[in-house]
Amino acid sequence: MQNLLHNLNQEQLAAVTLPAQSALILAGAGSGKTRVLTTRIAWLIQTGQVSPAGVLAVTFTNKASKEMMTRLSAMLPINTRGMWIGTFHGLCNRLLRAHYRDAGLPQTFQILDSQDQLSAIKRLLKSLNVDDEKYPPRNLMYFINGAKDQGLRANEVEANDDYNRKFVELYDLYDQQCQREGVVDFAELLLRTYELLSRNQPLREHYQARFQHILVDEFQDTNDLQYKWLKLMAGQRGAVFAVGDDDQSIYAFRGANVGNMSAFEHEFRVENLIKLEQNYRSHGHILDSANTLIANNSKRLGKNLRTDAGHGEPVRIYEATSDLQEAQWIIEEAKSLINEGATRSEIAVLYRSNAQSRVIEHALFSAGIPYRVYGGQRYFERAEVKHAIAYLQLMDNPHNDSAFLRVVNFPTRGIGARALEQLQDAARQYGISLYAAVPYVAGKAGATLGAFLKLIEGGRFETQHLPLPEMVQIVLEMSGLIQHYRNEKEGADRIENLEQLVNAATLFVSEEGFGADAPALLGPKAQAVAGAAITTAEGIEIFDADAPLATLMSPLSAFLSHASLEAGDNQAQAGQDALQLMTVHSAKGLEFDAVFITGLEEGLFPHENSQKENAGVEEERRLMYVAITRAKQRLYMSFSQTRMLHGQTRYNTRSRFFDELPEDALKWLSPKVQPHSWFGNQKSAWDDAPEKGVNTIAKNFSRKDIGWRIGENVSHQKFGEGVIVNIEGSGGNARAHINFGKHGMKLLDLSVAKLEKV
């Protein structure tokens, strides 16, 4: 038997071996929270306090749950496949599959990703003739999700004016539409499970008795409904072991409520609040930077981090003149790290917004450095893949109107707008799905629609005994998608992506433990006979949750859920030793030897949307704290004077966060001035600064001799209000680059221009 506990420090050991009561581990980044949580599961099982089936563990991402299972398999001689380790969404999907009837869902219910959800909402508004300028679909989506995240149905939302009442009414109609089509959105997965368990006492008691230990990672980012869900699951006796860091709460925009941490302490009667203060991840300068930065936030639960690792390298900071130059610099630095022996996959480039990655990707591509982008366009979100998925969805549940509309005339088969209008009218009249309404459409329109129906039904019949990968292959051909892209000029890539779907299906079937020959369409009913289901004394059928997904849904249903729920990595590049590119949000919980934090400019990081309110800036600061604490040995930060974003050139000032870092930990690198940058060949004040002194200049760039500083807002008689972007020269010769918004960038002589401070 392995000694699981030997490489833990005292506080960690105490946390891992706590008695079976609710506990809160509150600790900073890199202090071993995730390690403690995983080790506790292993320890509980190894010491016989719980069976693998009695553990419920919640992680923040699918990737994290996979990693946890891998770690557990390494620690214990058990098969982790049947264990309940997953995200809230993944776990709820599983529960709803097992109890779909009680939850009021069709067995083959499908999951809408956010893109599908938005189009479902647009479709709803259109069918109701609602003015989508007055009631923008996106706002309605936020409204609905916001309500669901708080656990509220339409009839529970308070609306105090006509406008909001309309939103509430639309929320209700949206839910009805989803129900009719047999689809659920992400928030619905949770709310539906919550309602199921609150309503159904025997079921609730079954799971409460079963899950004696519930463990939650990244607890600071749970929302209200997730919190209520945990309370319900735990019941009176369940022990919830929550680990989190209030300084890393970065999902408020999605309803996360950091207040859950203090609520948890009271409501779960936490007697054991353990703080971990030893950081095992980062070198000293990196950790100092994180600590000093986050100290600027006012609302904190308070904790410290220390490290035994030495100071290490200073944090290197680079000012670029353009985003292109910033990318170039990243590549040079990454190359020298690789030359020194760094592994590519241990180098991460982080950015605040996805839009920033394009320039960096381009530069990496030109330099021939392999890279991998997370959270960009997901594989399953590519148009051609979505088309193929829509055909598969129709095979599984033909009443999914979103899927129907996506492919009814793609590839084109002569079904025009007029025919669809007739179909939609019929569907509305009888309150049925588009698919079911086809027989009610007469004439030529009815004939073309009928042919589509035959295509889907024929496909279903033809593939009913085939395993999933073969079914996918046939659907690609039968739908006409492959042929369609073959005729398209740039279709080769798309065909390749479509063919990847067959590989993805093959991999999925084997990973999830469906037999290689298991028919894709065969539902759990047939397999349940094989003994996977148990019936409670009350006559409720409960599937044995130790059994793999295979007993809960058909391979096709499971695969379709996977397509909606997985944070789809770029499959083509998986497994390669590649540089890692991702947003700061998606880097949560991860660590790398070297990290670049890019685009540290006002308006970008902190993001402009956050600056209106102080709470917004504090959230951005936590995000910056997350970014810094991803680094183990090397940390780089960069910003650029100009940047092309969304087709516009922005003139930027450096992020306020630089002023919040400890000077001793930093090393400012002076930029090479590009001949074609907006300030021409002029030297900037930074160039002449000796390596050491630059720091001071940069930090205290309030040039007393001039009376102006970079980042200051000024007003000019002719050009109006602007921001000082750069200052060059000194004394009477000082000139400033000022961005005057619609008047553009001006270079003004400070002793002549009559500027005023605003």
Does 589 bind Mg ion (CB under 5 A)? Our answer is yes
Instruction: Name the active-site residue from 113, 185, 217, 245.
Output: 217
33 is catalytic: yes
Closer to ligand ATP at the Cβ: 110 or 248?
248
CA trace torsion 659, 662, 663, 669 (10° rounding):
-70
Residues within the interface to ligand ATP (CB under 6 A)? 7-9, 12, 27, 29-35, 245, 248, 280-281, 589, 591, 629
Binding partner at 29 among Mg ion, ligand ATP, none, C-beta below 5 to 8 Å by kind: ligand ATP
Instruction: Name the active-site residue from 40, 588, 630, 634.
Output: 630
Q: Which region, judged by CB under 5 A, interacts with Mg ion, from 25-33, 48-56, 248-256, 385-393?
A: 25-33
Closer to ligand ATP at the Cβ: 66 or 699?
66
Q: Which amino acid is at 428?
A: R
Binding partner at 7 among Mg ion, ligand ATP, none, C-beta below 5 to 8 Å by kind: ligand ATP
DSSP string, 633-693: EEEEEEEEEEEEETTEEEE--B-GGGGGS-GGGEEEEPPPPPTTSTTTTPPPTTTTS-HHH
711 close to 694: Cβ distance less than 8 angstroms:
no
Closer to ligand ATP at the Cβ: 80 or 278?
278
279 close to 305: Cβ distance less than 8 angstroms:
yes
Binding residues: 27-34
52 close to 80: Cβ distance less than 8 angstroms:
yes
Number of residues that bind Mg ion (CB under 5 A): 3
Taking alpha carbons only, the member of 158, 59, 172 closest to residue 567 is 59
177 is catalytic: no
Binding partner at 12 among ligand ATP, Mg ion, none, C-beta below 5 to 8 Å by kind: ligand ATP
Q: In angstroms, give the least distance from the CB of 667 to ligand ATP.
A: 24
Q: In angstroms, give the least distance from the CB of 300 to ligand ATP.
A: 15
Q: In angstroms, give the least distance from the CB of 587 to Mg ion.
A: 11
Q: In angstroms, give the least distance from the CB of 267 to ligand ATP.
A: 24
Calpha distance 38→33 (Å, rounded): 9
If you count DSSP H runs as helices and E runs as strands, how many of each does the chain have, helices first? 26, 25
Does 193 bind Mg ion (CB under 5 A)? Our answer is no
Phi-psi region of 593 (alpha: psi -120 to 50; beta: other; left: phi over 0): alpha
Q: In angstroms, give the least distance from the CB of 361 to ligand ATP.
A: 26
Q: Which region, judged by CB under 5 A, interacts with Mg ion, from 29-37, 111-119, 159-167, 620-628?
A: 29-37
Binding partner at 319 among ligand ATP, Mg ion, none, C-beta below 5 to 8 Å by kind: none
Taking alpha carbons only, the member of 629, 654, 634 closest to residue 711 is 654
Q: In angstroms, give the least distance from the CB of 72 to ligand ATP.
A: 14
Q: Which residues contact 155 (CB under 8 A, 6 or more apart)?
A: 172
269 is catalytic: no
165 close to 159: Cβ distance less than 8 angstroms:
yes
Q: Name the token pair of 498.
A: 């479509």
Instruction: Name the active-site residue from 218, 221, 288, 396.
Output: 218
Classified as helix, coil or strand, 717 is coil
Closer to ligand ATP at the Cβ: 591 or 601?
591
Q: In angstroms, give the least distance from the CB of 600 to Mg ion.
A: 24
Closer to Mg ion at the Cβ: 378 or 630?
630
Binding partner at 280 among ligand ATP, Mg ion, none, C-beta below 5 to 8 Å by kind: ligand ATP
Q: Which amino acid is at 276?
A: L
217 is catalytic: yes
Q: Name the token pair of 631.
A: 């680094």
313 close to 348: Cβ distance less than 8 angstroms:
no
Q: CB 71: neighbour CB atoms within 10 A?
A: 17
Classified as helix, coil or strand, 56 is strand
Residue given tokens 């602007």 in the structure block: 722
Closer to ligand ATP at the Cβ: 617 or 631?
631
Q: In angstroms, give the least distance from the CB of 245 to ligand ATP.
A: 5
Calpha distance 619→248 (Å, rounded): 9
Binding partner at 463 among Mg ion, ligand ATP, none, C-beta below 5 to 8 Å by kind: none
Instruction: Name the active-site residue from 34, 226, 328, 641.
Output: 34
647 close to 358: Cβ distance less than 8 angstroms:
no
123 is catalytic: no
Binding residues for ATP: 27-34
Q: Which region, judged by CB under 5 A, interacts with Mg ion, from 197-205, 429-437, 588-596, 683-691?
A: 588-596
Calpha distance 30→320 (Å, rounded): 30
Binding partner at 184 among ligand ATP, Mg ion, none, C-beta below 5 to 8 Å by kind: none
CA trace torsion 320, 322, 683, 657 (10° rounding):
-40
Q: In angstroms, give the least distance from the CB of 13 to ligand ATP.
A: 9
Angle among Cα 66, 68, 73 to the nearest 5 degrees reads 95
User: Radius of gyration of the chain from Cα atoms?
Assistant: 28
Q: Which residues contact 254 (CB under 8 A, 6 or more apart)?
A: 149, 223
Closer to ligand ATP at the Cβ: 35 or 382?
35
Instruction: Name the active-site residue from 108, 220, 248, 527.
Output: 248
Calpha distance 320→709 (Å, rounded): 19
Q: Which region, judged by CB under 5 A, interacts with Mg ion, from 16-24, 458-466, 582-590, 686-694?
A: 582-590
Binding partner at 8 among Mg ion, ligand ATP, none, C-beta below 5 to 8 Å by kind: ligand ATP
Closer to ligand ATP at the Cβ: 6 or 489?
6
Does 30 bind Mg ion (CB under 5 A)? Our answer is no
Binding partner at 188 among ligand ATP, Mg ion, none, C-beta below 5 to 8 Å by kind: none
Phi, psi of 219 (to 5 degrees): -60, -30
248 is catalytic: yes
Classified as helix, coil or strand, 603 is strand
Q: In angstroms, give the least distance from the CB of 217 to ligand ATP.
A: 7
Calpha distance 676→653 (Å, rounded): 19
Calpha distance 390→383 (Å, rounded): 10
Q: Which region, judged by CB under 5 A, interacts with Mg ion, from 27-35, 116-124, 233-241, 262-270?
A: 27-35
Closer to ligand ATP at the Cβ: 30 or 52?
30
Closer to ligand ATP at the Cβ: 7 or 429?
7
Does 34 bind Mg ion (CB under 5 A)? Our answer is yes
Closer to ligand ATP at the Cβ: 15 or 755?
15
Beta bridge partners of 721: 715
Classified as helix, coil or strand, 595 is strand
Q: In angstroms, give the least distance from the CB of 657 to ligand ATP.
A: 19
Calpha distance 349→334 (Å, rounded): 10
Residue given tokens 């919830």 in the structure block: 240
Does 279 bind Mg ion (CB under 5 A)? Our answer is no
381 close to 119: Cβ distance less than 8 angstroms:
no
Find the largest Cα–Cα distance for the chain.
91
Residue given tokens 């009442």 in the structure block: 165
674 close to 683: Cβ distance less than 8 angstroms:
no
Calpha distance 673→318 (Å, rounded): 12
Could you list the active site residues? Answer: 33-34, 217-218, 248, 630
Residues that bind Mg ion (CB under 5 A): 33-34, 589
